[in-house]
Amino acid sequence: MLRFYVWLYVAFLYAPIAIITLFSFHSSPSLTFPFEGVSLRWYAKIFSDTTFLNSLWNSLIVGASTAAITTVLGSLTALGLARLKGRIQTVFGLLAFGPVALPGLFLGIALVMLFSQIGLQRSLVTVTIAHVLFTLPFFIEAVRSRIEYFDLSLEEAARDLGATPLQSFRLVTLPIIGPTIGGAAILSFALSFDEFIITVFVSGNDTTLPLTIWSMMRRAVSPDINAASVISLGLSIGMILIGGLLVWYQRRLALGARAKDIET
Amino acid sequence: MMKISRHERMGLALVAPSFLFLLVFFIVPAILLFVCSFWMAQAFRLIPAFTLDNYARALSSTGFYFLTWNALKNGLCTAILTVALSFPAAYFIVYRTRGNLLFYLILVSWFSSYLVRIYAWRVILGSNGLINTTLMQLGLISEPIEVLLFSPFATILTLTHIMLPFGLLLLVSALRDVKKEYVEAARDLGASNAEVLTRVILPMCYKGVVGAFMFTFVISAGDFVTPQLLGGRDGMTTGILIANQFRTAGNWPFGAAMAFLMLVAFLIVYVAFVRLLDLLRLAPGRRFHD
């Protein structure tokens, strides 16, 4: 009974996406049944739209930059949090989570306020800053539990055996938490790629993909939005799946190597 | 003086960069926004002053209360639906399956972009949309059901659909925090599944459920895109007003004041909610030590 409910739940979650995907291949502009035939015309149309292509490129650039910056900041933070105890750890943990607890609206207007006061023009740079702010809590949360699990005494053992701090980090810590960090980096990329609400406020003349889709939506319900949407969600979901597979595969390799070492 | 071990000093040094980042880009803007709410705006220029006019203007307009009430309604309905619908799924995932496949399947749907989901529902719910045309083709109705779109129904349905995976994530982590030993002990003492659920699991994940509820509430109450695209004329929320001030109308201090008033409203809802749970004897109190 419960199992049936859960599958209904999953179906409800995916149904609208499935419908949009279906109609993005529709040969006619109609968005209702009967289904008249398969065609790629809407994809051809959207790929010849320079605004779309530019914003897609911008989203990729912002996503990559966000992922890079968040990975550096977030990894340092997660490693640091594991070493702090008690109240400082809790306070900082709460602070780091702040940007997610508030609706994007508040973050957006606060950042707009800041940028105008310090005279920073709205551009892809401001968008990247906003995205780092938004993805950082997710990154830290994703990496933190893995790091807490990680036994600091392994690092101490390496130090006892004569390794420098840098060496012990490179040869002991990094291989163990590496896959998690890689996965979290891809998570940041995907979150930044989809981010819309804060971006609405802090973007300047260069738009990102969600913003383009939004302006298309506001004009009219037209079938090429379907194609644009499917491309957008295809990329996001694709990224997450690839990231997940990479993490899973690397973990399997690491576990396999360890098992072999124990056997010999 | 407190002795800070070398370990902790290293920790502080490591968190310093992101602390600085959060300070500059999160805390300072928030303070700036608060200060700005006491300023004035004239012809798109900000004038630093100290006036309560913005707050007074918001609090004395009936429209503001109406819009805020809409926002709170969106938030409450979405939060209730999300938590109620996701809890059984979370229970199933934590207690009835092994491995994370189903969990990841649901989480992946979260990455189908926010806007795409709004667009999808707009296509499905419209009077020329999928539901209406299919029902008419099947002969079940003779005229399209207008209220499906541009109504609170559409807004709440879409917001719930958007928040479900996130709610599930929070609930699953809340349920995973419940110590298995208590559950096993209860089973050993002969409790039925329902009894285990109501007397062991629910009290122990209470904080997590309240957290999931509040998170969903805050994000959906503050959402202004969904009501704008799907809510119709009567579905406007304060969020739309605030967004307009910062994007087109240009009266930032007024927008800032409204934003902080919204935060106060959220706080009131939180306190009232916890108090309500307390009154209904649903809060676990000090019944167990953890």
| Predicted confidence (pLDDT) at residue A101 exceeds the cutoff of 50 | yes
Interchain CB contact of B248 with A (< 8 Å): no
Query: Which chain B residues have a beta carbon less than 8 Å from that of A210?
Result: 113-115
For chain A, what are the domain ranges? 53-256
Q: What is the mean pLDDT of residues A86-94?
A: 81
Q: What is the mean pLDDT of residues A46-58?
A: 90
Interchain CB contact of B105 with A (< 8 Å): yes
Interchain CB contact of A76 with B (< 8 Å): yes
Interchain CB contact of A153 with B (< 8 Å): no
Between A86 and B118, where is the model more confident? B118
Interface of B with A in 12-51 (CB under 8 A): 12-19, 21-22, 25-26, 28-30, 32-33, 36
The segment with the largest mean pLDDT, out of A26-35, A89-98, A151-160, B1-10, is A89-98
C-beta contacts of A23-26 below 8 A and 24+ residues apart: A23/A223, A23/A226, A23/B123, A24/A223, A24/A226, A24/A227, A24/A229, A24/A230, A26/A223, A26/A226
Interface of B with A in 254-273 (CB under 8 A): 255-256, 259, 263
| Predicted confidence (pLDDT) at residue A202 exceeds the cutoff of 70 | yes
What pLDDT score does A69 carry? 95
Query: Which chain A residues have a beta carbon less than 8 Å from that of B36?
Result: 113
Q: Taking CB atoms and an 8 Å cut-off, how many pairs form between chains A and B?
A: 235
Q: What is the mean pLDDT of residues A182-189?
A: 91
Between B8 and A213, where is the model more confident? A213
Question: A53-256 falls under which CATH superfamily?
Answer: MetI-like (1.10.3720.10)
Interchain CB contact of B111 with A (< 8 Å): yes
- What ipTM was reported for this prediction? 0.86
For chain B, what are the domain ranges? 46-279
Determine the Cα–Cα distance for residues A165 and A154; give it in Å rounded to an integer: 12
Q: Please state the length of chain B.
A: 290
Q: Determine which helix (DSSP H) or strand (DSSP E) holds B276, and give its type and residue range.
A: helix B252-279
Interchain CB contact of B99 with A (< 8 Å): no
Determine the Cα–Cα distance for residues A126 and B30; give it in Å rounded to an integer: 16
8 Å CB contact of B111 and A196: no
Determine contact, residues B252/B29, Cβ cutoff 8 Å: no
What pLDDT score does B1 carry? 46
What's the pLDDT band for A242 if we cut at 50, 70, 90?
Answer: confident
What pLDDT score does B161 carry? 95
Question: B46-279 falls under which CATH superfamily?
Answer: MetI-like (1.10.3720.10)
Nearest CB partner across the interface for B11, out of A2, A81, A98: A81
8 Å CB contact of B242 and A109: yes
Nearest CB partner across the interface for B109, out of A14, A79, A110: A14
- Our measurement of the distance from residue A249's CA atom to the centroid of its chain's CA atoms, rounded to an integer in Å, reads 20
Q: Which residues of chain B have pLDDT under 70?
A: 1-4, 43-45, 281-290
What pLDDT score does B285 carry? 61
Report percent pLDDT > 90 for chain A.
Answer: 31
Separation in Å, CA B206 to CA B37, B95, B192, B200: 36, 17, 20, 10
Nearest CB partner across the interface for B223, out of A74, A88, A103: A103
8 Å CB contact of A210 and B8: no
What's the pLDDT band for A189 if we cut at 50, 70, 90?
Answer: very high
Query: Which chain A residues have a beta carbon less than 8 Å from that of B127?
Result: none
The segment with the largest mean pLDDT, out of A89-93, A114-118, B32-36, B162-166, is B162-166
For residue range B80-109, list pLDDT tens digits in order.
999 999 999 998 988 888 878 888 888 888
Interchain CB contact of B193 with A (< 8 Å): no
Determine the Cα–Cα distance for residues B73 and B7; give it in Å rounded to an integer: 48
